[in-house]
């Protein structure tokens, strides 16, 4: 029997609490979710919004990606708290460093993905996480990146030029009613990244409030990483139990 996928639906996956080690000696807490029965075809490395404004690994879009995408798209999802950030999973060591020391956090996540043999990591940054992506995500191990609500407050035109030279895909989702950067200005700023695909999302805001906004984000992520999946289902059919 099919059941609707709702805001609090948690689909089957293999989930484990993990720890990341940074080059400057910190332990970061996180969670890895992978498909229950198969190996992941690609891996999302998620970077959460600004921790001083309530962002953490459980920020709702990232949490729902981990709850749904291993089952619906065979994607692995790594979520973690950057330095000094606390969530129900625990508190990562260190202190918020305004986007400077966090460079080591991004590298630690990619080191973890490599050590686990997880395939094709894509960075998925939201707000502050987009700044970390643009500034520190130009790593040869990275297959591409998806930016949600980029403020372009810390990341500069020099970072955009460097990403253009990096050559990896860049998907940029900009809400119509964003508090910091709206589609018109974003189009001008990201125009210097030739491979960037900028998508203005009508009706959405910076926090992607509501199930309609969340579904749009998750569908865009999957569309670019798994083009063989045209659209995510809105219902789930539990696997049949063996007699």
Query: pLDDT (tens digit, 9 = 90+) per residue, 82-118?
Result: 999 999 999 999 999 999 999 999 999 999 999 999 9
pLDDT digits (tens, 9 = 90+) for 121-144: 999 999 999 999 999 999 999 999
CA 217, 222, 227, 231 torsion-angle sign = negative
Question: What is the number of H-type helices and E-type strands within the chain?
Answer: 6, 12
Domain ranges of the chain: 3-236
The H or E element that residue 55 is part of is none
Beta-carbon contacts of 56 under 8 Å, excluding residues fewer than 6 positions away, are 48, 81, 85, 86, 87
Q: Does domain 3-236 have CATH number 3.40.50.1820?
A: yes
Closest by CA to 109, choosing from 132, 127, 134, 90, is: 132
Are 122 and 98 contacting, i.e. CB atoms less than 8 angstroms apart? Answer: no
pLDDT digits (tens, 9 = 90+) for 136-173: 999 999 999 999 999 999 999 999 999 999 999 999 99
Closest by CA to 95, choosing from 83, 107, 105, 111, is: 83
What local confidence, expressed as pLDDT, does residue 96 receive? Answer: 98
For the chain, the C-alpha Rg in angstroms (whole number) is 17
């Amino acid at each position: 029997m099919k059941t609707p996928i709702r805001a609090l639906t948690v689909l089957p996956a293999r989930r484990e609490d993990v720890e990341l080690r940074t080059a400057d000696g910190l332990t970061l807490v996180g969670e890895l979710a992978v498909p229950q029965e198969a190996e992941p075809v690609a891996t999302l490395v998620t970077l959460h919004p600004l921790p001083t404004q309530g962002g953490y690994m459980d920020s709702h879009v990232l949490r729902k990606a981990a709850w749904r995408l291993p089952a619906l798209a065979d994607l692995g999802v790594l979520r973690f708290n950057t330095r000094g950030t606390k969530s129900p999973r625990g508190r990562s060591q260190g202190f918020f460093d305004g986007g400077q020391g966090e460079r080591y956090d991004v590298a630690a996540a990619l080191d973890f993905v490599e050590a686990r043999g997880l395939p094709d990591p894509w960075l998925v940054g939201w707000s502050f996480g987009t700044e970390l992506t643009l500034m520190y995500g130009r790593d040869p191990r990275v297959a591409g990146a998806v930016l949600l609500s980029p403020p372009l407050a810390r990341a500069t035109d020099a970072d955009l030029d460097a990403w253009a030279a990096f050559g990896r895909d860049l998907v940029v989702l900009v809400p119509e009613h964003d508090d910091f950067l709206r589609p018109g200005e974003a189009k001008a700023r990201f125009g210097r990244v030739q491979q960037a695909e900028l998508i203005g999302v009508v009706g959405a805001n910076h926090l992607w409030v509501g199930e309609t906004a969340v579904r749009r984000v998750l569908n865009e992520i999957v569309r670019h990483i798994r083009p063989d999946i045209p659209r995510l289902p809105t219902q789930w059919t539990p696997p049949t139990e063996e007699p």
